[in-house]
Amino acid sequence: MGEATNGINAEHNGHSGKTTTVPDTVSSDQLVEENASPEELHAAIEETRAEMSETIDAIQAKLNPQNIKERIAEDARHRVSEIAETAKAKWQEVAAPAVGKGIETAKSKVSEVQHLAGEKIGAMRGETSHSEASEKHLSTHTSTHNARKGPLKPISEQVVVVFGASSGIGRETALQFARKGAKVVIAARNEEGLQSLVEDIRHVGGEAIYQVADVTDFAQVKAVADLAAERFGRLDTWVHCAAVSLYATFEQTTPEEFKRLIEVNLVGQAHGALAALPHLRQEGRGALIHISSVEGKRAFPYPSAYASSKHGVIGLLDALRVELMNEGVPIFVTNVMPAGINTPFFNKARTKLGVKPMPAPPIYQPSVVAEVILHAAEHPTRDIVAGGAAKSLIAMQKLSPALMDKMLMKGGFSGQRTKEPKPENAPDNLYEPISGYNKIGGDFYTKAKAKSLSNWLETHPAAQSALKGAALGLVALLLLRRK
């Protein structure tokens, strides 16, 4: 027998006088056949046993669940990394340029449509475009001003009426207009509140006058619009905030109370638009901004008369808007729908709940509404929601009214009640103004939010477009990854 490939245990064979090399893998039978000594046989057996033990340990290690899990996880991480790198490369190669090009194309189209719309409006009004005016050296104030400034004037050049300005949203809005340089005419039933507001406006360097008026009396409302034109020569923006409320079940509401809410909150809004429109037409453009409510889209339990009036306001504005569009008149009608706002409105409301009512949470500060009103005064806006919570609620109502019913069953009743007792005969402003609440904020400062991300996006169209572009890019990336 010749030498094995890897010989070990070389011993001298006493019988043959030759050297025998025992291979690593030799079997005990082979050793017996080769007349191996007992020691060599034992060593080979032990070595074989050790090798088998190592083999068994290696197999057990591979079959260990933890090791299998780690190997699978490592393989998965490696695979995900490969997919991510591939998707990134594909995004940079295909999707990113396409999305960027799409956004630029959309911007270009929007700009083109705006330009064509401006020319169309000018044609309907018998005006020439800015370029034609330059060629013909026309210098009429209206045409050149519109071409230079756009469909609505900057706030600093406006004369603004704020109706319902003695407290709450109206008071904050009037102050904000004055801070930005607008000439402001304020109106409400409460003369004390109007006088203090004029002082506040003058304190911040603004210019304001006031007129006491009740929105249910058209002659009084018309007098406010006429005052703006007489004192400042024109009217550019009409903001209608005046409203009252009643917290009671429908069956607790008397016919007289229901009728009163409709007269103030709906007929009063119609009076405002009727009084403002002749002056806006004379100026050739302008903004009608009316405050309805999230309850114009989804009624809450208790203020059924209030919700009915706000539904009516939205219907009124929708009809009026289309009529003006049909005429080609650049008077823009905006419906502002606030969420629950921290104002004295809830201190002044009539209640039959036995406690003072409160806005359904989450609650926002009045400035959240004022900022969207000022935005609409410069940028034509159809509908705008003040407060992200209101936007979510309206979306839920569209998705599933039945689900909203259940949600309001659960939290709509308790969410509008404080623990502060208030008898039914407590003073309220349903028929007459009451003193002591001529301020902006209500009693819920600690619960009210001063900012709304939804508002910020609504008033920053460029950021909104960028966010939509990013969302489109994410969808494209997910589709590429899936592919």
Q: What is the C-alpha to C-alpha distance for residues 101 and 355, in angstroms, rounded to an integer?
A: 58
Whether 143 shows a pLDDT value over 90: the answer reads no
Q: Which of 139-143, 248-252, 276-280, 313-317 has the lowest mean pLDDT?
A: 139-143
Q: What is the C-alpha to C-alpha distance for residues 121 and 115, in angstroms, rounded to an integer?
A: 10
- Domain boundaries in the chain? 7-51, 93-150+454-483, 154-451
Q: Give the tens place of pLDDT for each residue, 79-137.
A: 666 666 665 665 566 555 555 555 555 555 545 555 555 555 454 444 434 433 333 33
Q: Which phi and psi angles does 258 have, rounded to 5°?
A: -60, -45
Cβ partners under 8 Å of residue 74, min gap 6: none
Q: Is 431 a catalytic residue?
A: no
Closest CA to 153 of 182, 189, 120, 119: 182
Which CATH class name applies to 154-451? alpha beta
* pLDDT band per the 50, 70, 90 thresholds, residue 345: very high
Give mean pLDDT, residues 415-419. Answer: 96
Q: What's the pLDDT at 163?
A: 98
Catalytic residue among 302, 306, 364, 437: 306
* Cβ atoms of 244 and 264 closer than 8 Å: yes
Max mean pLDDT range (29-38, 42-51, 184-193): 184-193
Closest CA to 381 of 117, 160, 151: 151
Q: What is the C-alpha to C-alpha distance for residues 384 and 374, in angstroms, rounded to an integer?
A: 12
- Higher-pLDDT residue of 389, 117: 389
Q: What is the C-alpha to C-alpha distance for residues 97 and 321, in angstroms, rounded to an integer?
A: 39
Q: Which of 2-6, 28-32, 334-338 has the lowest mean pLDDT?
A: 2-6
Q: What's the pLDDT at 69?
A: 63
Q: Give the tens place of pLDDT for each residue, 207-220.
A: 999 999 999 999 99
Whether 469 shows a pLDDT value over 90: the answer reads no
Give mean pLDDT, residues 52-57. Answer: 72
